[in-house]
Amino acid sequence: MIHLDALDRKIVDALQCDGSLSNAELAERVGSTGPSCWRRIKLLEEAGVLAKNVWLVDAARIGQGVNVLCNIRLKSHSAEHTALFENFVRDQDRIMECLSMSGEWDYQIRVVATDVPDYEIFLMQTLLRNEAVAGAASHFALRVVKYQTAIPLPEK
């Protein structure tokens, strides 16, 4: 775990809220100097705390407003099936998240789709045809109540 001091936390918080801040704007917002912020950002990047700078897209506004949480069970827990499934997931643009799970299901994925028939095509023609997949259970989100990308930072 990386130790973040108070200024590091302010920088990370500010960048999580607005990654487009100029270095001067960031320095003013966190009460520091431009060169100090720049050095700290570079150190945070090198430490892997700051991974990449992106713009978030409103999926519904571009026709990808259906969110499906899908639980996956693999045919076996062999290294071969695990690698086959995880490589498949990495290659699928519509799979937004994939979590390895404890309990009854092996994985949970979040899939975006234009509508239910679009998801059904993905499910039947792509996901369930993967030779590592034994079964799946899909749950459709009715609406997004909260969507957050900023990670809460510990005080110390």
pLDDT tens digit sequence for 28-43: 999 999 999 999 999 9
pLDDT digits (tens, 9 = 90+) for 5-25: 999 999 999 999 999 999 999
> With bands split at pLDDT 50, 70 and 90, how would you rate the model's confidence at 2?
confident
Q: What is the pLDDT of residues 47-60, one digit of tens each?
A: 999 999 899 999 99
Phi, psi at 114, each rounded to 5°? -75, -35
Domain with CATH 1.10.10.10 in the chain: 6-46
The beta strand positions in the chain, using DSSP E, are 66-74, 95-100, 107-113, 133-140
If we measure between CA atoms, which residue out of 125, 64, 120 comes closest to residue 96? Answer: 64
Confidence grade of residue 61 (pLDDT, cut at 50, 70, 90): very high
- At 113-156, the pLDDT tens digits run 999 999 999 999 999 999 999 999 999 999 999 999 999 998 76
Identify how many contiguous H helices and E strands the chain contains and give both numbers.
5, 4
Which tokens in the block code for residue 51?
């991974």
What topology does CATH give the domain 59-140? Alpha-Beta Plaits (3.30.70)
Considering the four listed CATH numbers 3.60.20.10, 3.30.70.1230, 1.10.10.10, 3.40.50.10490, the one that applies to the domain covering 6-46 is 1.10.10.10
Domain with CATH 3.30.70.920 in the chain: 59-140
